[in-house]
Amino acid sequence: MSMFNSMRISASGLSAERLRMDTITSNMSNATTTRGKDGKPYVRKVAVFQESLDNEKGLNGVKAVGILEDKSPLRTVFDPSHPDANKEGYVTMPNVNVLNEMADMISASRSYEANVDTLNASKSMFMKSLEIGR
């Protein structure tokens, strides 16, 4: 096992949580987008990760598999004055719940902080071991 494996794992976690936060930010920004480029309402996105285990190369951690669309149904809101309202006055809204997105953002932020702390602890251990060798 390489001396820097813990740093590589933390770095992969940082990248993963950054992608997760970017995806959440996109969801929150488009929470009221009723018409995108395709003419349809925005659909919530979810970042998907999997563990990355490559013992031959010593590369372990997390890798992004992709960003998938949430399959939950879109919301309908009664607003006859909205330009995208149908004949009955209902508007199809994105399936984004801002409160859930905020909770996910807090979770991603805390995970990011934990990876930074782990990276700093590893760095500190390496610095101490270099001082011992003096």
User: Over the stretch 10-35, which tens digit does the pLDDT of each residue have?
Assistant: 889 999 999 999 999 999 999 999 99
Inform me whether the pLDDT recorded for 129 exceeds 90. Answer: no
SS3 26: helix
DSSP state for residue 131 in the 8-state scheme: H
* Residue 57, pLDDT score: 63
Token duo for residue 95: 């399936």
**Mean pLDDT in the chain?**
90
* Residue 52, pLDDT score: 81
d(CA 56, CA 53): 9
Number of domains composing the chain:
1
SS3 68: strand
pLDDT tens column, 89-124: 999 999 999 999 999 999 999 999 999 999 999 888
pTM of the full structure: 0.86
Inform me whether the pLDDT recorded for 86 exceeds 90. Answer: yes
Inform me whether the pLDDT recorded for 1 exceeds 70. Answer: no
Give the pLDDT band (50/70/90) at residue 56: low
Inform me whether the pLDDT recorded for 55 exceeds 70. Answer: no
Domain encompassing residue 107? 2-133
